[in-house]
Amino acid sequence: MFPLATWAKLRELLRTELLHLTTINASDRRWQMPVAAALASGLPLMVGAFFDHMTYGLVSSLGGLIFLYLPNTPLYHRMVTLMVCSFGMTACYALGVMSHFVPPLMMPVLIFIAILVTMVCRFYRLGPPGSLFFIMAASIGAYSPIPVLEVPLYVGLLTMGSLLAGLIALFYSVLLLLRQAPLAVAPLPPASFDFVVFDSVVIGAFVGIALASAQILNLDRPYWVPVSCLAVIQGMSLRAVWNRQVHRLLGTGIGLLVSWALLSLPLDKWTICFMMMALTLVIETMVVRHYGIAVIFITPLTIFLAEAANLGHGSPVALIQARFWDTALGSVVGLIGGIALHSPRFREVVGRHLRRLTPPRLLP
C-alpha cells in the first residue's frame, strides 16, 4: 500500500496534467481568417475537380497553406512575408520531389531542409506554424511518384497555389486593416547561437532520425513521421513538448475515428473539396484555442490532402492504421528530441562541439 502522502501527490499530478490538457485558451482571431484560409486551400481543389485533375488541385492546395503565415502587421510587411514564404515553400517542395529520384538522398535532403528552414524561421522570428508546413511540403514531395519530366509542372502548380493564397491574403488584409490598426513591426532581437543554430541542428537531426526510423520499419507512408516529430519537438519548453505529444496522440486517435467515418461516406471529387474546406475552417478556428481538438480535424485533413486522388478505391482501414503508426512513431521521436533539446547537460556537451564546427564569423 502506498502512503497517503504518495496518493495525494499522485492525485495532484494527475489533476495538473488534466488541467494542462483541457485548458481552452482565449483567442482574438476574427472569423474572417479561417474563412480566408479555407478559400486559399480549397479553391485550387475546386479548380482541379472542375477539370477532373484532383492531383493537380491537391498540389496547388499545398501551396495555399502559406496563407497561414500571414502576420498581423502593416500591409507591406504582410505581403513581403508571404512572398518569402511562397518562395520557401516552392523550394522545399522542389528539393523534396527531386530527392525522390535518388532514394539515398531523401534523408540528407530532409535534414538539410529542416535545419535551414528552422534557422531562417527562428532568425526572423516567424510565428506559428513555423517550419512545419515547409517540412510537410518537402516530405510529401519526396514520396510523390512524379515522372521526372513533370517535375516543373508540379512545382509550377504549387507556385500557382501560393500566388492565389497571396492574392486572397491581399484582399483579406485590406478589408481587415480598414477595421483595425495593425501591430507595429518589431525590430528583430539579437540572434543567439543556441536559439538559431544549436536548436535548428538538433531539430533537423531528430527529423532525420524520425524518417530513418520510418524507413527501417518499412512503413507504407513515412512522409508523415518527420512531420509529426517536428510538430512535437518545436515546443518552446519541455512542458509544451509534452503537452503537444499527448495532444497529438490523443487527438490523432480520435481523429482517426473521424477519418474512418468520413472515408466510409460515398465520396466524389466535389464532396472531398467541400469537406477539406470545412475541416480547414474548423482547424483554424480551434488551433489557437486547443491544439488537441484541432488535431482531431487535422488528422482527416492531412489524409485527404495526401491521398484524396486515390480515395474511394478500397478499404480505408489500411490508410488509417498507417497514419496511426506514423503519428505514434513521430511523436515518440519528437518527445525524445524535445527532452534532449531542453536538457542543460545535452546542450552543454553537444553545443560545445557544435561551436567548434561553426565558423567564428557566424557566431553571435
At 2, the pLDDT band (50, 70, 90 cuts) reads very low
Domain ranges, residue 120: 31-362
Joined grid coordinates for residue 347: 546542450
What integer best gives the mean pLDDT of the chain? 81
Domain contains 13: no
Q: Which of 270, 258, 284, 224 is nearest to 40 (CA)?
A: 284
- Tell me, what's the pLDDT at 1? 47
Average pLDDT over residues 286-291: 74
User: Quick check: 326 and 221 in contact, CB under 8 A?
Assistant: yes
User: Quick check: 277 and 320 in contact, CB under 8 A?
Assistant: no
Joined grid coordinates for residue 300: 482527416
- Tell me, what's the pLDDT at 3? 60
- The model's pLDDT over 332-347, given as tens digits with 9 standing for 90+, comes to 888 888 888 888 888 8
Domain contains 116: yes
Domain contains 25: no
Between 276 and 184, the higher pLDDT residue: 276
DSSP state of 180: S
Q: Which of 168, 287, 174, 314 is nearest to 231 (CA)?
A: 287
Domain contains 1: no
- The model's pLDDT over 58-67, given as tens digits with 9 standing for 90+, comes to 889 989 989 9
Q: Where are the beta strands (DSSP E) in the chain?
A: none
CA neighbours closer than 13 Å in the CB half-sphere of residue 170: 10
Which among 97-101, 228-232, 296-300, 344-348 has the top mean pLDDT? Answer: 97-101
How many structural domains compose the chain?
1
- Tell me, what's the pLDDT at 300? 81
Domain contains 5: no
Domain contains 14: no
